[in-house]
Structure 1
């Protein structure tokens, strides 16, 4: 087995591809089928300490219930004495938000196609009695075929039988419906529809319909639905969005009317979806049944006293299909939240340069072996901000530097990455030989 990987049942677990407050996401491969997966790893003790048992159980249960082509698929749930492993579909195309950052705004026909897929997924959730409550472009992923996948059901709700009104205020403020902010109870379906309308506006406009620096003003504009569609919106699209962003949930357009609307129906191809049979949640209950028992500490993962090793397969998979040009072109890299570049400098020089640049940007630096975490505040000074930088050896004297968001807003992250790379120019390798990329593939260690 190559350094930096370990086995979890039938899965060969590799590098970290995502990191949050309560979980890490690892890239892995099913050794029986060759399928790529993402494994969300959570510590049982942390879940218990933060009283998140019910929330995590709900998230896992919901993802098993709402299987759909436009929803990230949950394959299975595994557990060890100390950890829970959620095995998910690996979605390689990044966030929908990254396309907005890269392209500024999407053409109407492309925005409509993503919106159709979003509505297909959300309508399926509502049919199952599930309300997402945190719909935003950052939670919408794009797969290798360009299809949208809804993710992150951590704030989703499954109303109790006979209860139609939800009361918890949650989600991202700019995408929240007025009735959610009012804290007087709300219809989860109508609230999700509002969020979908904000997403459609952002896709077509390239900016938020409600975006104020202070929360009271933001809430006031949302409550009054105080927004204006840009001139480049078609008349029909403008009318459609105004029907969705109706501040009154009782008169707001319903899901069935969205699907019947002429703007929505144009070139509409419904998802080819076969209803699942009754979902068995016994495995979910089994995983959590001992969570309040005394935990047995797992052996720590083996320290890698040197740069991590990435083989050719991983490198190709984690770049844009088979096109490695994005590794050498920082502008193309903007289509992903996970941004990366290549360097021919020694690994220790790369790390020390990153540390020096980060400190010059007033970021706190924490380095362990060849993994560095940078922490600070966003450009607006309003939010905490963190990124993780890892150095991987992909060939002799050739290193890939992977930078990913660990905390904070995606737009802040992209602004940071652009500025960060400008200061790291001395260590970034940009091949001038057109054959460099193909030659690289032949030299990468398999």
Structure 2
């Protein structure tokens, strides 16, 4: 029967086929129990997936995938389409990245495996989350966090360059995401405006880790050309080995230039001319860009990787000093009794969060047996999918997804000096006229 693949007793941990229903606790197979006890949300859903004609039809035609109701298309890539979906139990919106397994060659499968591996190990407010992986014989579905606010490329193309404060807030979040990735020895390698998404509340989410790679340490050399040519660092055009972090840093410099000016720093009619511009580092910053921001761009877009700013230098630059985050963007190591106390409080909050999520799972109908048979670290388990969605809900209630703010004013000493000089000249002219 269609949908029958989703109903297997939980005594067998075959969660890749949505084996959640436990006939011993009032599942679809237990009609007497159905008539005597109210069904949980999970039991109703698994019953419908096995017996309800409308639900079964939706499963057959792809309007449902596992516990997700599929809606319209919101994006596409070379090997994938992205659709909006809703979790049938939690009602949360998710992005469903759909890949046709028949079209995936060996290289595409390797990239997909890296993408899943990278996303499994990254839990950061400014990186798109992977909730679940659903497999069918013909397709693979990545259930991802839904941002909902569009991407940076379309925003600038439609509305023009960002304001100075918006640039600060946006760039600081991208920088924090990449800092976190590099700390875990993951290199993005495809940073571009299309892969910077916004939530409806204005938070930034770095997406599309298809070209990401893990290195044993940040000094490991790489040799694969990845990413979009306008964002590619000079060393990528030289057919030589390269270091990962400086490549991501260069792409962030291009992104910053694009945000503050609304144009790309390197433009040419042909690929050959674009390659030459990038290798030479030929670009012009408009004079109206604030001085601290100009200095940051110049420090990033240096053709020699060793001379390029490191991520920590970028985080400490004058231009970003007014940016304040509502949460610590990088885990702090205990350095003092006070810090140990703060870490202890953080652990207590995490434990409370965990208890809250487990309580919500129980309310939906997940039993201790479900949790025992479906490890919460396995992305191919539907229990993990529900758990991660609920956990993210709890973290958002704690303010984890709130964007940073700009506080106060940081004066540019060079500009202040110019202003004082102009004021002095103006005063001199007034004295002459009088």
The reply to whether TM is greater than 0.5 is yes
> Separation in 1 of the partners of 2:205 and 2:192?
12
- Check 1:144–1:104 CA distance in 2 against 1; reply closer, same or farther (3 A cut): same
SS at match of 1:94: strand
Question: Which stretch of structure 1 is more off in the superposition, 252-261 or 268-277?
Answer: 268-277
> Separation in 2 of the partners of 1:125 and 1:82?
32
Question: Which stretch of structure 1 is more off in the superposition, 194-203 or 209-218?
Answer: 209-218
Mapped pair 1:142 → 2:198: yes
TM-score normalised by L of structure 1? 0.60
Taking the TM superposition and a 5 Å limit, the aligned residue runs for 1:203-352 are 203-269=259-325, 271-272=327-328, 283=378
> Separation in 1 of the partners of 2:99 and 2:83?
11
Shift, 1:218, TM fit: 1.2
Superimposed CA distance per residue, residues 155-178 of structure 1 (whole angstroms, 9 cap, x where no aligned partner) = 111125697111111111111111
Mapped pair 1:38 → 2:95: yes
> Separation in 1 of the partners of 2:62 and 2:225?
40
> Separation in 2 of the partners of 1:234 and 1:53?
45
Is this contact kept in 1: 2:70–2:85, CA < 8 A?
A: yes
**Which has the larger Rg?**
2
> Separation in 2 of the partners of 1:246 and 1:63?
30
- Check 1:162–1:242 CA distance in 2 against 1; reply closer, same or farther (3 A cut): closer
Which of 71, 78, 83 is 1:26 aligned to? 83
Is this contact kept in 2: 1:96–1:140, CA < 8 A?
A: yes
> Separation in 2 of the partners of 1:16 and 1:83?
16
Is this contact kept in 1: 2:285–2:294, CA < 8 A?
A: yes
Aligned length: 284
Supply the RMSD in Å over aligned alpha carbons. 2.6
Higher-strand-fraction structure:
1
- Check 1:226–1:162 CA distance in 2 against 1; reply closer, same or farther (3 A cut): closer
Taking the TM superposition and a 5 Å limit, the aligned residue runs for 1:97-136 are 97-136=153-192
Superimposed CA distance per residue, residues 75-106 of structure 1 (whole angstroms, 9 cap, x where no aligned partner) = 01111122211100111111111121122211
> Separation in 2 of the partners of 1:27 and 1:147?
19
SS at match of 2:307: coil
Is this contact kept in 2: 1:55–1:154, CA < 8 A?
A: yes
Shift, 1:41, TM fit: 1.3
- Check 1:281–1:180 CA distance in 2 against 1; reply closer, same or farther (3 A cut): farther
Which residue does the alignment assign to 1:313? none
Is this contact kept in 2: 1:13–1:28, CA < 8 A?
A: yes
- Check 1:162–1:240 CA distance in 2 against 1; reply closer, same or farther (3 A cut): closer
> Separation in 2 of the partners of 1:195 and 1:261?
18
> Separation in 1 of the partners of 2:218 and 2:245?
15
> Separation in 2 of the partners of 1:23 and 1:181?
27
TM-score normalised by L of structure 2? 0.61
Higher-helix-fraction structure:
2
Is this contact kept in 2: 1:139–1:152, CA < 8 A?
A: yes
Which of 239, 246, 264 is 1:190 aligned to? 246
Unaligned ranges ≥5, structure 2? 1-53, 332-346, 351-374, 383-434
